[in-house]
Amino acid sequence: MNVLVYGSGQLARMMYLAGSPLNINIQAVDVATNKIVNPVTKRNLKISLDDAIANADVLTVEFEHVPEALLEQAEQSGKLAPNMRSILVGADRVREKQLLALANIPNCEHEIITNVAQLDGITERLGDKIILKSSRDGYDGYGQWRVSQQSDLDELITVFNHLDLEKVPIIAEKMCPFDRELSLVGSVDSEGNVALYPLAQNTHFEGQLHVSIAPAPELNDTLQQKAESIFAALASQMEYVGTLAVELFQVGDDLLVNELAPRVHNSGHWSMQGADTCQFENHLRAICGLPLGDSHADKISAMVNIIGVSSFSKNLIGIPGVHLHWYGKEVREKRKMGHINVTANSYADLGKKFEQLGEFLPMQHFPRLLTQASKLAKQ
């Protein structure tokens, strides 16, 4: 089985590693150059894109920001999974909001801004605290602006006057006072079979995910079932095949959808050690017509992102249940260099392991780790 992945970053790399034991051969498209590369070594395979598409059994993506011309070519091949519509939903917040409305899925109150004049009186309609998001190309906190008072909005209007908001609208969204951030990752095959992972609790810093814990602390069946109902409605609307991530805000006993990711997701990395079948393997199983694997969480698990740093003691892997995953990148500020997976027998045990990790890591790059350790100790 041959799979061609659009995008050649760490998610394509982890798909490659998950597919090898199943004899699934994976090549990747560097979407900036259209070159076909090995997802691990990045070696140019000297194959044309047309030939790579012809030789592939399935085409898929590792991220949603693939040039539309490439997606159209992939869709026309009849081999793309998930479909182009689903990928574009993840790449465009306007499409995303339209899908949520169509599926009657609750999300934060918002307005779509295509002209600066629409911002007049917006704080009266949405409240003083608003987050404005570029409808395209925003991730990890980029392409977002926060408003907490009128003077903030006045400054942003000056910025937006220089943007083509008709071409790339802004989503003005009321800042929802949520209790915590969660995500549900699951895989759907072409027959509608589903493998869902437990809800993960996510902790961010400056717009980037730093820590995911699964199953989420204080998770109950009712909350899990609500999330699964949302997932099912969205997957059905999109006729989805593959792994899908739904990012959520918990507000009391309710869930609001924050974002969708039509692909394997950072908050599902814990599954590499914490579930019988990880999200990468289940994505490949789903798109290749293989039976889906067990997505049950074997233990309490966590994923800790390594961001903007590569120099620390690798002796941390001596801690039982700790696994290190490097992506082979050059260091850059705010760049995801790898991640650490941790498995534990209880939340308190996980908290202790976080504290142990603190002995090996430069903590300025892991600003949420010890805070989470303290919270877990009380579970």
Burial class (CB in 10 A: 0-12, 13-18, 19+), 136: middle
pLDDT score of 102 more than 60 = yes
Instruction: Give mean pLDDT, residues 143-155.
Output: 85
Confidence of residue 143 (pLDDT cuts 50, 70, 90): confident
Q: So what's the pLDDT on residue 162?
A: 86
pLDDT score of 237 more than 90 = yes
Amino acid, single-letter form, for residue 29: V
Pairing relation of β-strands 130-134 and 35-37? unpaired
Q: So what's the pLDDT on residue 169?
A: 94
Instruction: Give mean pLDDT, residues 174-185.
Output: 96
For 109-174, which CATH superfamily applies? ATP-grasp fold, A domain (3.30.1490.20)
Q: So what's the pLDDT on residue 139?
A: 61
pLDDT tens by residue, 57-85: 999 999 999 999 999 999 999 999 999 99
Q: Which residue has the tokens 């990012």?
A: 247
pTM summary value: 0.95
Alpha-carbon distance of 370 to 189, in angstroms, equals 39
Confidence of residue 140 (pLDDT cuts 50, 70, 90): low
Q: Which residues contact 94 (CB under 8 A, 6 or more apart)?
A: 112, 135, 169, 171
Q: So what's the pLDDT on residue 142?
A: 65
pLDDT tens by residue, 250-306: 999 999 999 999 999 999 999 999 999 999 999 999 999 999 999 999 899 999 999
Q: So what's the pLDDT on residue 137?
A: 75
pLDDT score of 187 more than 70 = yes
Q: So what's the pLDDT on residue 207?
A: 87
Q: So what's the pLDDT on residue 106?
A: 96
The chain-wide mean pLDDT, for the chain, equals 95
Give the distance from CA 216 to its chain's centroid.
16
Choice among 37-41, 119-123, 337-341, 362-366 with the minimum mean pLDDT: 119-123
Q: So what's the pLDDT on residue 93?
A: 95
Alpha-carbon distance of 115 to 370, in angstroms, equals 44
- With CA atoms as reference, report the closest residue to 193 among 234, 241, 260: 241
Q: Which residue has the tokens 């404005």?
A: 132
Q: Where are the domains of the chain?
A: 2-80, 109-174, 180-376
Instruction: Give mean pLDDT, residues 359-364.
Output: 96
Q: Which CATH number fits domain 2-80: 3.20.20.70, 3.40.50.20, 3.30.420.40, 1.20.1260.10?
A: 3.40.50.20
Vertex 270: Cα angle to 181 and 178 (nearest 5): 5
Rounded to a whole number of angstroms, the distance between the first and last alpha carbons of the chain is 45
Confidence of residue 154 (pLDDT cuts 50, 70, 90): confident
Domain at 180-376, CATH class: alpha beta
Q: So what's the pLDDT on residue 141?
A: 56
Q: So what's the pLDDT on residue 149?
A: 80
